[in-house]
Amino acid sequence: MSDHRVLVDSSVWIDYFKSGNIPILDRMITEDLVCTNELILTELSPFLEHKGRYDILENLLELEMIPLSIDWQLIQKYQLLNLQKGVNKVGIPDLIILQQVIHKRISLFSFDKHFKLMQDYLNFELIA
């Protein structure tokens, strides 16, 4: 794992909220390496509000926020590359996350298997 910021995907947060037991995430939080973006918060916030988990939402909002700068042409290029490599059904939100971690040179912590597949031909650090 690198010693810089780590964007934690919603797949990890959801598992963490359910189990409360992801030691590597606890360590990253303690070392102040975790960051988020508006897309991930948008995926998580409605559920947390619905469940009345404002305490968790407040903690997430205190994380460093990495601004999104979407390059649609690059996202299209990534999706074309995915199709050429046989990696199908990668959603636009995940491509936006991918573009951000590559552009900002930050690590991604995700349990989504398609990120592992994309790591074979795109240059980004994945913690899985």
pLDDT of residue 3: 53
pLDDT of residue 1: 46
20: left (phi over 0), alpha (psi -120 to 50) or beta: left
pLDDT tens for 71-80 read 999 999 999 9
Whether 36 contacts 56, CB under 8 Å: no
pLDDT of residue 4: 86
Q: Return the DSSP state at 120.
A: T
Q: Is the pTM of this model over 0.75?
A: yes
| Residues of the chain scoring pLDDT < 70 | 1-3
pLDDT of residue 20: 80
Q: How far apart are CA 95 and CA 89, in angstroms?
A: 11
pLDDT of residue 31: 94
pLDDT of residue 2: 47
